[in-house]
Structure 1
Amino acid sequence: MTAPATTGSRAPRDGARRAAPVSTYRLQLGPDLTFDEAARQVPYLASLGVTHLYLSPVLQAAPGSTHGYDVVDHGRISVEMGGRAGLERLAECAHAAGLGMVLDVVPNHMAVPTPAWHNRALWSVLQHGPQSPYASWFDVDWSTDDGAVLMPVLGVRLGDALAAGDLVLDEIVVPHVPRDAGVADAAVDGGTPTTVLRYYEHVFPVREGTEDLPLAELVERQHYRLAYWRVGDEELNYRRFFDVGTLAAVRVEDEDVFDATHALVLDLVRTGVVDGLRIDHPDGLADPAQYLERLAQRTDGAWVVVEKILAGEEQVPPDWATVGTTGYDVAWRLQQLFVDPGGRAGLDATMTRLTGAPPGGLEGVVEQAKREVVAGPLYAEVHRLTDLAAAVCHDDPRLRDHTWRGLHQCLRELLVAFDRYRAYVVPGTPPRHEAVRAVEEAAERARVHLDPQRAETLDVVVDLVLGRETGSAGRRREPRRDELVVRFQQVCGAVMAKGVEDTAFYRWTELVSLCEVGGEPDRFSVGVHDWHAFAQRVAALTPLALTAGSTHDTKRGEDTRAALGVLSEDTAGWARVVDAVRAASAPYRGVLVDGLAENLLWQTVAGTWQPDAPALPGADTDVERDGPRSASGAIDAERLVDYLRKALREAKVRTSWTGTDEAYERAVKDLARKALEDPDVLRAFERWSHDHREELRAASLGIKLVQLTAPGVADVYQGSESYGPTLVDPDNRRPVDVEDLARRLARLDDGGVARTLGDEKLLVTSRALRLRRASPEAFVGPEAGYAPLATSTPCALGFARTVSGAARVVTVATRLHGTVRRLGGWRDHVVTLPDAPTGWLDVLTGRRHAAGTVPLERLFEELPVALLVEDGDA
C-alpha cells in the first residue's frame, strides 16, 4: 500500500525500507482535541481515504498552550491531551483502521513559561546559573550581565518595581510531576517548599545563600536579571525563536542535549507508535544538516519532512537527510496557478488608489520592513553578531582597524539584503556554490547602501560569514569565527521571518492572498508550463515531500485564497464593488481609517464570503441554496474584527503589539462592524459572490484536486476537505464539526447529490484520497511519474500520474474560468487523454470518456474538474 521512504533524491539510507505516507490529515491537538477525541475521528478519516494522521506537537507544553510549540518538558506527553497512555490508545485505534501517524517535532526552542518552574530545565538554569546541569541546553551568553540570564518580564523599570513593592519574596511548593504521569495521576506527586521571588504571576528561584539579603541586593545576586520588558529587544543575552522572548532556543547541536530532548520522540518511533516526523523550523538550528543526519541515524531512516521556506528556485540542501519540505513551495504555486496574470494592473490600481503607491513596490516594502526589524525587535541579535565580529577583528592585528560601528553597518545592510532564510555554511567545511553566491549577491546589494569607505569592512564581513581565511594567514577555525558563521545564518532567518512574513506581507495589499507563508507575491501568477516544470522537478527530486493547501500557519486558508484569486479575473468588476462599499460606508468611516485597513477589510470580506448562504433581499440572484440558513454569507463580525486587529498590528504601520493605537483600532473595528450591518454593503458582496460563483467553484475544486494528485504526499489540513474560508490562527484552528462531515460523506457515498460547494469539495477530496490509497504506486511508488497532457487552451490544466511511463490516473482542471465565460464557453477546445484500451472513467461523476481528443465542454459538463482512471480499474 505504501512506498519506501527516500532521503531527498537518494536511495533509502542503509537499506532501510520504512513505509512512507501516501497522504496525511493534520490534526491540531490541544485541550479542545485530546487523543481520545482524535481517536473518535479515526473511522471518518479512514473513510475519507487518508493513510496517516499528522499530529501537532504532543510533548508537555506551557500552561494554557493552544498549539504545543511551547514545549516545557521533552520527557512527558501532554497531560491535557491524555498523556502517553492516551497517545498509545490513539495509535492503536489508528493502526487498527490501517492508518499510520506522523508527529510534529519542535527541536529549536522551549517555552519560558509563567510560572517558570513548569520548565524544569530552565528553572535549574535560573537557580544555578552556569553550574546547572542544564546550562548547556540553552544558548546563553554568560559573559554579559555578570553571568545572569536576562528576564525582561517587568511592566515597569526595575527601580520602579522595587519602589512600588511589586517584587516580593514568597514560599511555594514546586510540584514534582512524574514523567510517566497520565491524566489521573498528573496532580502533585509530592513537592518541594521553595523560596521564590515573585512578580505578580511570575515566580523565580532564589539563589542559595541570598534569601536573607535586602531585596535590592538579593535581586542583583541572582543568576538572572529581571528587567523592563522593552529591554529584551536591545540587551537579550539568550537566543530565542525570532523575536519571541518567551521561546528560548535549545542547543540540539550538542549531542547530549539532542539525546535528552529527543529520547521520548525516538522511543515513539522505535516502538511503532509514530511512523514519521515533521521537523519544525530547522533553519533556527546551528547545523540543520547535522541534526537531520543524527535524527536519521537514530530512527533508522524514518520518513522526515522539514518546515522549510524556499526562496524562488532555491532547493533543499542535498546533504539534508529529509524527503523534502512541508509544502509551502507547492502551496503558493498552486494559488498563483489559478490567478489571472492580466489582473495585476487593475488590482494594483485599486491598491494605489486606496493606499498610495509604495516607493519601490513590494521590493521597497520588504526592504523597509527588514530595516525596521533589524533596528527594532531584532536589535539585540544584530548587536551580539557585531560584538562577535568586533572581537574577531580585535584579536587579529590585520583586522583591528575595522571598527564596531563599521562592522555593525555592514552586518545590518547584509542582513537586509539577504533574500533567503540562510546560506547553510558549516564551519570547517567548504561552502557550497549556492551559499557563496547567495552571500556575495547580497553583499553587492548591500554595498549600494554603504559609504564607499566601508567597502573593505564589508569584504571582511563576507569572508567571515562564509568561513573563509581573512586577516592573518591561517586564521580561519577559531571559536569566535565559527560562532559568527552560525549566528549570522540564524539571524538571517529571524530577519526574513519577522521582516517579510510577519510585516511586509501584511502591508502589501495588491492581492492579499498571495502574501502567504513562504509565498512569492511578486510572481503574481504561474502559467501552465511553469507549473508542469515545477511538478516534474518535484517528482524527480522530492517525490515524498508534503504538498500543502492549508496549514496551521497559513495567513488564509486555501478557500479564502481561492476566492481572493477570483478578484484577478474581473478587476473592473472588483473596482466597482470597492467603489460601492466605500460610498455606502462613507457616513460611518472614521477619518482615522487608512487605505491599508480599507483594502484589507474589503478583500477579507470578499475572501471569506460563504457562497452557499441564502441570498439577501434585493440581491437579484437565482441561486438555489441549501444548508444552514443565516442572514448573509458574510463572515461573523467577531472573527473579522479579531483578524483585522492581528493583521494591522503585524503590519506595524499605525498600530502594533508593542505600540497599540487604540483610537485607530477602534475606528477600523467600528467600520468593520457597521459594514457587516449595512444592507448596501452586504448586497454589493452578495452580487459579487453570485456573479462569480462559477469562477470560485472552479478555483476551489481545481486547486484541491491538483494538490491531491500532484507529485508528493498529499496533506489535508483539518476541515479543508470541505469548503471553509478561514483566516490566520486562531481562526484556522477552530474545532471542526467532524460529525457533520461524516454524515455528508456517507450521504455522498450512498449516491446523494452534492448540494453545496462544500459537498463538491468533500466529494473531490475523498475520491482523490481513496484513489491515492488504492493506487499508491502511481503517486509515491518508485516508478511513479508525472506527464503533462496537451490542451488547446491555457484555461485547462491536465496531467497524468504514471507508473513506469504508463498513464494510470488523469487530472484535468479548469483554471481562469472567468476567461472561459467571457469567450462564450469552451467552444471547440479539447484535451488529449492518454491511451487506454478500455477508455477512461471519471470517478467524480461516473462518466466515461474515450482515449484521445475529448472536448472540454463534455469533460466538464457536471464539474469543473475531472479525475480519471482506466475504465474497469475503479
Structure 2
Amino acid sequence: MTPRATYRFQFHRDFTFADAEALVPYLDRLGVSHVYASPITTARSGSTHGYDVVDPTTINPELGGEEAFRSLVKALRARDMGVIIDIVPNHMGVAGSENGWWMDVLAHGQGSAYARFFDIDWLEPVLLPVLGTPLSEALDQGALTIEVEDGKRFVTAYGEHRFPLRDEDQAGSATTDPQEIRAVLERQHYRLASWRTANDALNWRRFFTVSELAGLRIEDPEVFEAVHALPLRLYAEGLIDGVRVDHVDGLTDPAGYCRTLRARLDATPRPADAPPGPAYLVIEKILGAGEPLSDDWGVDGTSGYDFMEEVAALLHAPEGEAPLDRLWEEISGRPADFEAEELEARRHMLAWAFEGQLTRCVQAFTALAASTPETEGLTRGMLRRAIERLLWVFPVYRTYGTGDAAPEGDAEIREIARSRVAAHVPPGEEAVVDRVLEWLAGTGPGDTELAAEAVRRFQQLSAPIAAKAVEDTAFYRFGRLLSRNDVGFDATRFSASIAEFHADAVGRAERFPRGMLATATHDHKRGEDMRARLAVLSELPDTWRETVLRWHALAAPHADGVDPGDVYMLFQTLFGAWPDGLAIDDADGLVAFADRVVAWQQKALREAKLRSSWEAPNEAYEGAAEGLVRALLDPGKSGDFLADLQAFLARTAAPARANSLAQVALRYTVPGVPDCYQGTELPDYSLVDPDNRRPVDYGLRAQLLAGSTRQGAEKLALIARLLGLRRQHPALFASGDYRPVDVRGPQADHVLAFTRTAGEERLLAVVALRTAEATAGTETPAPARDWWADTVLDGLPEGVETRVGALLCDEPTAILIIP
C-alpha cells in the first residue's frame, strides 16, 4: 500500500507506542496516512534512536513491546491509517552483553550457530577494542576480573563490559589475579585490546567508524531469514504496510538484497481486511551528483535525501556564490573549492580511520593478482597506491555489480574515477589503476571467487569513506554557506536552476513516483527552516558581508584563540538557529539556546578534526570556543552584537518565511510521498543530533491545528491544507503527471510553476523563489503585486488566472485545483 503522506516518529523509552497512539487523532486531523517509525526492534537498553539493534526478532520492550505496537496499529487502522517501519539489515549493536548472537560468537567462535551472521575475518580471534589502555596495563591496573554468576564464569572490564568464556573455561572460580586472567583470555575466541587499535587492526566490518556496531552478512540466506522474520511476519499479519531500509549501501549486494526483499514481500499473503499490496519499499540511499537510482531493484525510491538536496539548492541564488566564496576564503584562509576540501578529508580518513579495512582490501586484490600470470607482477604496494587513490576521488558511494549484473551507471562512474585519479597516480602506474577498474567492472583476469571478494571489499570501503570524509569531516570544515552542507547534498553545487528542478521532478514522476520526499530527518545537520533562513544570505551577499565583518569586530574581545573560520560558522549558526520569539533580554532563553549551540559546536569541532577530535579532544580550544558562544549570548557582555543580530533577523524574516513555505509547498505537491519529520510542522531551526531529536510539544501543535486562525502557524496551516487536498484528490497526487509551466516577464526567474493532471483533475502550483530584493525588511513573505509587473504563466486553460502578481499577491505560494 502506497502511503498518501507519512509522519516520522523517533521512538525510544521516553516516547513509546502508547505516546504515538495518543497522537493518532492529531495525525488524522493533520492529514497524514502513515506513521513512519524509527526501528522498533529490540535495541540496546536506553537507545535513543533504535539503530543499535540487539535482537531483530522481537519488538523493543522499552517501546511497549508487541502488545503496545498492536494497539497502536489498531488505532491507526480504525482511521484508515497505517505504519511503515525502519529496518536495519546492515549491522547490529554489539556493545555490552545484550546481543545474544554476538555473545554466542564470542563464546564459541567459528563453532557458533551465528558465526556466519557477522562479517568477520576468522584468521585470528575477534578483536574487541574496548579497553582504555593496552591489555597489559589494564591487567596491571586491576581493570579486568573474572566473575561467576549462575554457575557461569565471565570476564568484566571496568565493571561495565562483560565477555563470555568458552565452555571449556567455565570450571573455576572468580579471580582478580592478572596472570590467571591473562591465561584464560589467551584461550578465548576473542582478543581484548585498547580502543585505539580499532582503526588499524579490527578484523570484522563495523558501521563506518563505530566499533559498537558490527556488520551483518545479510547476503547469506540464513541471515536474511533471521533478520527479516519479524518484519515479514508483521507484514503478513497486516500490521505494517512497508519498510524503509537503513544504509543499503553497506550491504554486499544492495541490488540483490532489494530484489530479494521485494520478492518476499510480494509473495507474502495478507489478511483480507488488510490494505492491499504491494508493500511500500524505500531505501536510505545517498545519490552522488548526477547518479541515478537503478529502476530494476524493486524499490519505490529513496527515503528522500535526494529531494531534500534538490529543493534546498533551488532556494539558493546563484549570484551569491562568487561573493560568498571570496568572503569564506578571506575570513577562514581555507579554499572555497569544496572538491579540495573533500580530497583532503578522504586522504585523511583513509590513511587513519580505515587503515584496517584498507589493508584487508589490498590483501584481497593482492591475492587476486597472484592468481593469474597476467597480473602476478603487480606488487602489494602498487595495488595499495592504486586502490587508495581511487578511493580519494571516487565520485559516488559505490558501484553495484560486475559483468552483466552491473547497472549501466557503473561504467560511467568508473570512467569519472579514472579521469579524476590521473593527477594522483605515481609515474608509470596508470596500468595498475586500469587493472583495478577492470576488476571492478568484472572484466579483469584471475580467480572469479577471489575477484568477487576483492570487489566486495572495495565497494564496502568506498561507501563509508565517502560518508565519513564528506558528511562527517569536510562538511564541518567548509563554511562558505552552511545551508549547502547536509546529508545527501552536493556541496560543489551552490544552487539549482528552475529548469533543473523541473527535470528532477519529471524524472521522479516517470521512474519513482512513490519515492519519499523529505526536507528534515533524524540525520539532518540543520533543520529545514534553518537552511531556508540561511539560503537568504545567497540573495544578500553584500549585506551579509557588511554584517558579518561588523560582528567579527564586536566579537573580537571574546574570540581570542578561536579560529576565524570557526567564528564565521558560529555566526551562521546563531543566525540560522535563532528560535522564533527569543528576545535578547530573555536571560533563561539565551542560556538554553547557548547550551544547544555549544553542543553543536563541540560536535562540529571534533568532526572537523582540525583543532579537536573525538579521539583527542582539545579541551583548551573547545573551552575558548564555548566561551565565545556564551559571551555572544550574554546581554551584559554582547548587547550590541545581540541587538545587531536581532535587527538582521528582522530584516531577513520575510524572505526566510517565503523559503520555508516554498519547500513545504513543493514537498506536498510534486510527485512522491511527502514525509513530515516529527515536530517540523512548525518552524524547525534544529541543529545536528541530538538537537534534532528533542521532545516535541504536540499539545501546542494540536491546539494550533484546531484553532480557527492558526496565528503564527502559517507553515502548519499550509501543510494541513495541502494534506487535505491530497486526501480529497488521491489519484491526482498518486499518479498525476508533472508538467512545467512556462513563465515569461521581468520576474520569470523568480517563479516556479507546474501542473499535475490525472483524468479530469488538474492542479496548478505556483511558488515564488529568491524574492529577498522585494521582501527583505517587510512584514510579508509575498512580494507586492506591482513588483511582479507583467510576469505571467503561459499555456494554461482559458479562464485560469495567469498573472503572477494576482496569484502571489498575498502568499508566496498558490496551490489551486483548476479546470
- Amino acid aligned to 1:828: A
Name 2:25's counterpart in structure 1: 43
Name 2:483's counterpart in structure 1: 513
| Aligned-partner Cα distance in 1 for 2:328–2:63 | 45
Shift of 1:566: 0.8
For residue 108 of structure 2, the aligned residue among 121, 128, 132 is 128
Name 1:549's counterpart in structure 2: 519
For residue 675 of structure 2, the aligned residue among 698, 704, 715 is 715
1:674 equivalenced with 2:674 (yes/no): no
Shift of 1:798: 1.4
Shift of 1:866: 1.6
- Bigger helix share: 2
1:650 equivalenced with 2:607 (yes/no): yes
CA contact (8 A) 1:468 1:476 kept: no
Q: Which moved more, 1:125-134 or 1:517-526?
A: 517-526
1:858 equivalenced with 2:790 (yes/no): no
Map 1:302-381; keep pairs closer than 5 Å: 302-358=279-335, 361-381=337-357
CA contact (8 A) 2:371 2:447 kept: no
1:237 equivalenced with 2:206 (yes/no): no
Shift of 1:228: 0.8
CA contact (8 A) 1:807 1:834 kept: no
1:700 equivalenced with 2:660 (yes/no): yes
Shift of 1:505: 1.0
| Aligned-partner Cα distance in 1 for 2:254–2:541 | 44
| Aligned-partner Cα distance in 1 for 2:114–2:724 | 48
Name 1:790's counterpart in structure 2: 743
| Aligned-partner Cα distance in 1 for 2:505–2:790 | 24
Question: CA 1:661–1:633 in 2, change beyond 3 Å: closer, same or farther?
Answer: closer
Map 1:716-755; keep pairs closer than 5 Å: 716-747=676-707, 750=708, 752=709, 754-755=710-711
Name 2:99's counterpart in structure 1: 119
For residue 605 of structure 1, the aligned residue among 539, 560, 574 is 574
Secondary structure at 1:310's aligned position in 2? coil
Name 2:270's counterpart in structure 1: none
Shift of 1:610: 3.0
CA contact (8 A) 1:105 1:280 kept: yes
Describe the superposition over 1:541-595 as per-residue Cα deviations: whole angstroms up to 9, x where unpaired: 110000111011111110010010011111122112212221222112122x002
CA contact (8 A) 1:153 1:227 kept: yes
For residue 291 of structure 1, the aligned residue among 238, 257, 272 is 257
Map 1:793-808; keep pairs closer than 5 Å: 793-804=748-759, 808=762
Name 2:367's counterpart in structure 1: 391
Name 1:575's counterpart in structure 2: 545
| Aligned-partner Cα distance in 2 for 1:130–1:723 | 52
Question: CA 1:632–1:572 in 2, change beyond 3 Å: closer, same or farther?
Answer: farther
Shift of 1:820: 3.2
Name 1:187's counterpart in structure 2: none
Name 2:274's counterpart in structure 1: none
| Aligned-partner Cα distance in 1 for 2:742–2:80 | 34
Name 2:78's counterpart in structure 1: 96
1:218 equivalenced with 2:167 (yes/no): no
Secondary structure at 2:396's aligned position in 1? coil
| Aligned-partner Cα distance in 2 for 1:436–1:864 | 43
- Amino acid aligned to 1:576: E
Name 1:638's counterpart in structure 2: 595
Describe the superposition over 1:832-858 as per-residue Cα deviations: whole angstroms up to 9, x where unpaired: 387568xxxxxxxxxxxx51422x333
For residue 127 of structure 2, the aligned residue among 150, 156, 172 is 150
For residue 830 of structure 1, the aligned residue among 788, 791, 796 is 791
Question: CA 1:585–1:835 in 2, change beyond 3 Å: closer, same or farther?
Answer: closer
CA contact (8 A) 1:138 1:251 kept: yes
Q: Which moved more, 1:397-406 or 1:102-111?
A: 397-406
| Aligned-partner Cα distance in 2 for 1:789–1:743 | 40
Shift of 1:330: 0.8
Q: How many residues align?
A: 788
| TM-score after normalising by structure 2 | 0.93
Shift of 1:443: 2.7
CA contact (8 A) 2:738 2:754 kept: no
Question: CA 1:102–1:430 in 2, change beyond 3 Å: closer, same or farther?
Answer: closer
Shift of 1:827: 4.0
Name 1:257's counterpart in structure 2: 223
Secondary structure at 2:816's aligned position in 1? strand
1:760 equivalenced with 2:720 (yes/no): no
Secondary structure at 1:780's aligned position in 2? helix
Secondary structure at 1:867's aligned position in 2? strand
Q: Which moved more, 1:157-166 or 1:640-649?
A: 157-166
Secondary structure at 2:47's aligned position in 1? coil
| TM-score after normalising by structure 1 | 0.87
1:196 equivalenced with 2:154 (yes/no): yes
Shift of 1:821: 4.5
- Amino acid aligned to 1:529: A
Structure 2 unaligned spans of 5+: 173-178, 267-277, 777-782
- Amino acid aligned to 2:546: R
| Aligned-partner Cα distance in 2 for 1:333–1:75 | 37
CA contact (8 A) 2:337 2:492 kept: no
Name 1:844's counterpart in structure 2: none
Describe the superposition over 1:210-249 as per-residue Cα deviations: whole angstroms up to 9, x where unpaired: 3559222211110001111111100110011111111101
For residue 278 of structure 1, the aligned residue among 225, 244, 261 is 244
Secondary structure at 1:523's aligned position in 2? coil
Structure 1 unaligned spans of 5+: 1-18, 174-192, 618-628, 838-849
| Aligned-partner Cα distance in 1 for 2:46–2:590 | 33
CA contact (8 A) 1:63 1:113 kept: no
| Aligned-partner Cα distance in 1 for 2:477–2:36 | 32
Name 1:405's counterpart in structure 2: 381
- Amino acid aligned to 1:233: N
Shift of 1:431: 2.9
CA contact (8 A) 1:785 1:803 kept: no
1:434 equivalenced with 2:406 (yes/no): no
- Amino acid aligned to 1:209: E
- Amino acid aligned to 1:656: S
Shift of 1:413: 0.5
Map 1:25-104; keep pairs closer than 5 Å: 25-104=7-86
| Aligned-partner Cα distance in 1 for 2:357–2:189 | 21
CA contact (8 A) 1:242 1:494 kept: yes
Shift of 1:789: 4.7
Shift of 1:393: 2.1
| Aligned-partner Cα distance in 2 for 1:833–1:424 | 43
- Amino acid aligned to 1:653: L
Shift of 1:390: 1.2
| Percent of matched pairs sharing the same residue | 37
Q: Which moved more, 1:32-41 or 1:808-817?
A: 808-817
- Amino acid aligned to 2:122: W
Question: CA 1:786–1:779 in 2, change beyond 3 Å: closer, same or farther?
Answer: farther
Describe the superposition over 1:28-65 as per-residue Cα deviations: whole angstroms up to 9, x where unpaired: 11112100000001100100011111000000001221
| Aligned-partner Cα distance in 2 for 1:833–1:49 | 32
Shift of 1:709: 0.8
Describe the superposition over 1:269-314 as per-residue Cα deviations: whole angstroms up to 9, x where unpaired: 1111100110111111111111111111211141100111111111
Name 1:450's counterpart in structure 2: 425
| Aligned-partner Cα distance in 2 for 1:731–1:258 | 34
Describe the superposition over 1:399-449 as per-residue Cα deviations: whole angstroms up to 9, x where unpaired: 2221111111111001111110111114x6453332122123313322321
CA contact (8 A) 1:609 1:633 kept: no
| Aligned-partner Cα distance in 2 for 1:22–1:483 | 42
Cα RMSD (Å): 1.9
For residue 149 of structure 2, the aligned residue among 172, 175, 191 is 172
